[in-house]
Structure 1
Amino acid sequence: MNKKLKLWDATMLVMGSMIGSGIFIVSADMMRNLGSGYWLIVVWIITGIMTVAAALSYGELSAMFPKAGGQYTYITEIFGKRLGFLYGWGMFTVIQTGTIAAVAVAFGKFSAYLFPALNDAAPLFQSGEFKITWIQILGIAVILLLTYINTRGVESGKLLQNIFTGSKIVALLGLIFLGFILVKESFWSGNMSFGWDSFNNLVKDDKGNYLKLGWESISEATLFGGIAAAMVGSVFSSVAWENVTFVSGEIENPQKNVVKAMVLGTISVMLLYLLVNFVYLNALDRDSIAFAANDRVAVAASEKMFGSVGTIIMAVLVMISTFGCVNGIVLAGARVFQTMAKDGLFLKSAIENNKNGVPEKSLWMQGIWASLLALSGQYGDLLDMISFVIVLFYMITVFGVIYMRIKQPDAERSYKTWLYPVTPIIYLLIGTAFCVLLFIYKPNYTWPGLILILIGLPVYYIINSRKSESQ
């Protein structure tokens, strides 16, 4: 592969893939689960520690296996093809394509602030609960457009990524700066008055729906469930940084630049996320965060800062953010499926590069499946179910660092995990706590996703049996 991506490009890919629609939305649901500005910040800090610890750990593996495929390659090389296939299966069916669909449709939803006709238009098709809207069609158009641009060569995708990532970083910094200057009435002290020993949660009805009836005190034990549920949102907003490992084969000096990009990118994004949440807590009271219309807490904060024009300002920012995010994920994901195809675990046609040196057929397979998920409208439910599995695969990969130190202590490592073994152990401990708490308090977020991934096992054995017959 041509080494066309420099350290700056790789860092922009990390940051651009991470910053999508999540940071503008998830804090509303997090506040409903936590009921406290203190705990909202604590959960973001925990997520930040997890994310950076994982990036530092992945760096060692990226130095050992500096080729395309990233996390899929690490899992396959360390634990074998079967587990590697299950990760790749999850990537194609939901993790990568579902994220593309969700972020692209978010672009469409925020476009409706600029073009209200998108919201007012009747569905193109409706049968019972299933419907196809113009917002979905706009999301699909974004997916297909960015897929096409990325088939024109990595230079095209890189340029687009750098422009849009740079734009949204500058816009976020502006939002953070103005968030403490333009807000006339600060709610910071009120939001932070619900302290460490004051645990609150929203009252729910018999069906488990939140009610606007106020807050009730909860026990420390129940708080753990609230933290786990809140972390689903912060974790979803903080994933996809590993996308840079998928394109290792196209990065200059990948042994050094991949880890640098991951560490610089994740630290920068998590600091931005923390500061944006400071703005929310300064501009809005607890109920305004928890009950922001359609969970669009960023829009509510922007309206407080800029008045009615704030809605338009935030809509444009989110459109820039989501467009750049989809581009980064589209660019990176297809390289995983190409690597799987080379291992005989995906469609053979995904192996080929086109005249521009990129896996065009792999890109279109990814784009078409993501478009179908966007059309189905089920991507949101799928991503809720898969959050647990994403963290599980992160944990498996991070454990791979420890496993390889034991199995191959003398192997060449141009980069070694900082503060090993403390760093990977920190991630494994937090990740384990998160997964266990989800199992206990939110089983609907765990079992369905696990079953979806395990469906890949018979697919793996079918593929292998056919390979055996053809030999």
Structure 2
Amino acid sequence: MAEQTTSFKPTLGLLDATMIVAGSMIGSGIFIVGADITRNVGSAGWLIAVWLITGFMTLTAALSYGELSGMFPKAGGQYVYLKEAYNPLLGFLYGWSFFAVIQTATIAAVCVAFAKFTAYLIPSLSEDLVAIQIGSFKISPAQLLAIGIAILLTYINTRGVKEGKIIQTTLTLVKLLSLFGLILFGFIMADGAIWKANWTDAWNLHSLTDSNTPLLGLVAAAMVGSIFSSDAWNNVTFIAGEIKNPKRNIGLSLFLGTFVVTLIYVSTNVMYTAVLPLDEIASASKDRVAVAAAQNIFGSIGSYIIAIMIMVSTFGCSNGMILSGARVYYTMAKDGLFFKQASTLNKNAVPAKGLWIQCLVICAWCISGSYGQLLDMISFVVVLFYMLTIIGIFILRKKRPDMERPYKAFGYPVMPILYIIMGVAFCTLLIIYKPNYTWPGLIITLIGIPIYYIALVKKKQSIT
């Protein structure tokens, strides 16, 4: 029988934690979603405004989470915060949604993005080819490679957090420097005529494809892409048990990571408007805005430069999310609300069984091919849970006023209230104007209610 340990080892410093925040956020989104945002808002000013609004919301949420991470510096993060502020059911519904779609489908999408851009260098791995066919069911080489990447990164992370952190810190530093380089070269090669054309009528908010949706609905629909690209910043809270001085370093890493990524995202999109006409941003082949921009900057070699950048970016993003996700299942299993096997740590002090259970679901999403649609549909649920968690700060200040708070939410109560108002507006507009982006995620979340009570019954039976 394999040797086991009973507690996590705090081996991650501030730099490692910051790289997990930034590395988990930056996947493939920044290279792609600008096209859909532009189709929704139709102008350069509103393209940047969408990223600024999302960046403000992300920074506000991250600064608010700093208080919660200081109060509960242990594995599980948002699951623990919701359970402590409200009740075990709400915590479980988040954990269930996280396991069923939020984390696993996102990782699947990022792994497939890695495979799609690998096909730039190795065409035989194209998503348009068929590797396996059983009746009408087909699996592409890109999907098989995505599964292989998920399995490889899961295996590496079962070897211990040290191995995972080396990959994460190294690749995140590489992609941050690469993105800064792309932005710099983009501004050096900027075309004055293109810039003037894009910014002459910069605040004319209008859809390039849908004239029926009201203006605020267009902004909400556009933000689905920017929120997806800016998500996963909270992953560092899941691994609190492995961070040195977590009461200080989690809150600080949340601020540093989200600030740097927000700066890069806004700058990248400003750069796009300096090298590409707006209609080319909106109509980029397969939404690959970064490829079109790089071809204008570097010539024909540009597509290969971006392909390599996205491969590095998505590999690091997948690693960060795989590393941190299993810690949520570990904490849920300790509470008797997840597979019992996930509640143990292996000899390397990591929840290996939880990692492999997560890997199975990731692989299933890779094969299904439906992760893209699901990601559109879960932005609503993700923001809903963020709002509930931030409201939890107000609840916990009432319920536990004397509890130690080494770090307090920045700008409390104004900043957290601002986030809640913006989150309510975003979710309401999606419900009214883009309901298809809301109900599937809600259904998946609500399926967790009967599962929770079944888990409670099994927990009582195991005790008796």
Q: TM-score normalised to the size of structure 2?
A: 0.96
Residue pairs, 1:439-450, within 5 angstroms: 439-450=431-442
Contact conserved, 1:130 with 1:376, CA < 8 A, in 2?
no
Name which of 199, 203, 206 aligns with 1:200.
206
Equivalence for 2:171:
164
**1:123 to partner: Cα distance:** 0.7
- Which amino acid is the alignment partner of residue 308 of structure 1? S
Equivalence for 2:130:
123
Matches of 1:242 and 1:31, distance apart in 2: 27
Gaps of 5+ in 1: 205-215
Matches of 2:193 and 2:343, distance apart in 1: 56
Residue-by-residue CA offset, 1:19-45 (whole Å, 9 max, x unaligned): 000000000000000000000111111
Residue pairs, 1:82-93, within 5 angstroms: 82-93=89-100
**1:185 to partner: Cα distance:** 5.5
Identity over the aligned pairs, expressed in percent?
A: 56
Equivalence for 1:383:
375
Equivalence for 2:268:
276
Matches of 1:269 and 1:349, distance apart in 2: 36
Equivalence for 1:60:
67
Equivalence for 2:239:
247
Matches of 1:375 and 1:226, distance apart in 2: 32
Residue-by-residue CA offset, 1:341-396 (whole Å, 9 max, x unaligned): 00000011111111111110001111111011101111111111111000000001
**Please, which moves more after superposition, 168-177 or 121-130?**
121-130
Where 2:207 maps in the other structure, the secondary structure is strand
**1:466 to partner: Cα distance:** 2.1
2:352 pairs with 1:343 = no
Residue-by-residue CA offset, 1:120-159 (whole Å, 9 max, x unaligned): 8741234677420000001111100000000110000000
Q: TM-score normalised to the size of structure 1?
A: 0.95
Equivalence for 2:413:
421
Residue pairs, 1:182-221, within 5 angstroms: 182-184=189-191, 186-196=193-203, 198-204=204-210
Residue-by-residue CA offset, 1:242-289 (whole Å, 9 max, x unaligned): 000000000011011000000000011000000000111111011100
Contact conserved, 2:25 with 2:231, CA < 8 A, in 1?
yes
Where 1:67 maps in the other structure, the secondary structure is coil
Matches of 1:51 and 1:143, distance apart in 2: 27
2:228 pairs with 1:236 = yes
**Please, which moves more after superposition, 268-277 or 409-418?**
409-418
1:33–1:362 distance in 2 versus 1, CA, 3 Å: same
1:154–1:203 distance in 2 versus 1, CA, 3 Å: closer
Matches of 1:130 and 1:77, distance apart in 2: 44
- Which amino acid is the alignment partner of residue 446 of structure 1? T
Equivalence for 1:304:
296
Contact conserved, 2:172 with 2:313, CA < 8 A, in 1?
yes
1:433–1:127 distance in 2 versus 1, CA, 3 Å: farther
2:164 pairs with 1:143 = no
- Which amino acid is the alignment partner of residue 279 of structure 1? M
Matches of 2:214 and 2:127, distance apart in 1: 41
1:264–1:122 distance in 2 versus 1, CA, 3 Å: closer
**1:201 to partner: Cα distance:** 1.6
Matches of 1:292 and 1:268, distance apart in 2: 26
- Which amino acid is the alignment partner of residue 172 of structure 1? L
Gaps of 5+ in 2: 1-7
Equivalence for 1:19:
26
**1:188 to partner: Cα distance:** 1.8
2:41 pairs with 1:34 = yes
Equivalence for 2:450:
458
Equivalence for 1:260:
252
Contact conserved, 2:127 with 2:140, CA < 8 A, in 1?
no
Contact conserved, 1:388 with 1:446, CA < 8 A, in 2?
yes
Equivalence for 2:3:
none
**1:304 to partner: Cα distance:** 0.3
Equivalence for 2:281:
289
Contact conserved, 1:157 with 1:331, CA < 8 A, in 2?
yes
Matches of 1:185 and 1:126, distance apart in 2: 50
Count of aligned pairs between the two proteins: 456
Contact conserved, 1:186 with 1:283, CA < 8 A, in 2?
no
RMSD value, Cα: 1.4
Matches of 1:461 and 1:119, distance apart in 2: 44
Residue pairs, 1:381-420, within 5 angstroms: 381-420=373-412
Contact conserved, 1:183 with 1:304, CA < 8 A, in 2?
no
Matches of 2:146 and 2:198, distance apart in 1: 36
Matches of 1:83 and 1:152, distance apart in 2: 32
**1:117 to partner: Cα distance:** 2.1
- Which amino acid is the alignment partner of residue 174 of structure 2? S
Contact conserved, 2:191 with 2:274, CA < 8 A, in 1?
no
Residue pairs, 1:42-57, within 5 angstroms: 42-57=49-64
Where 2:232 maps in the other structure, the secondary structure is coil
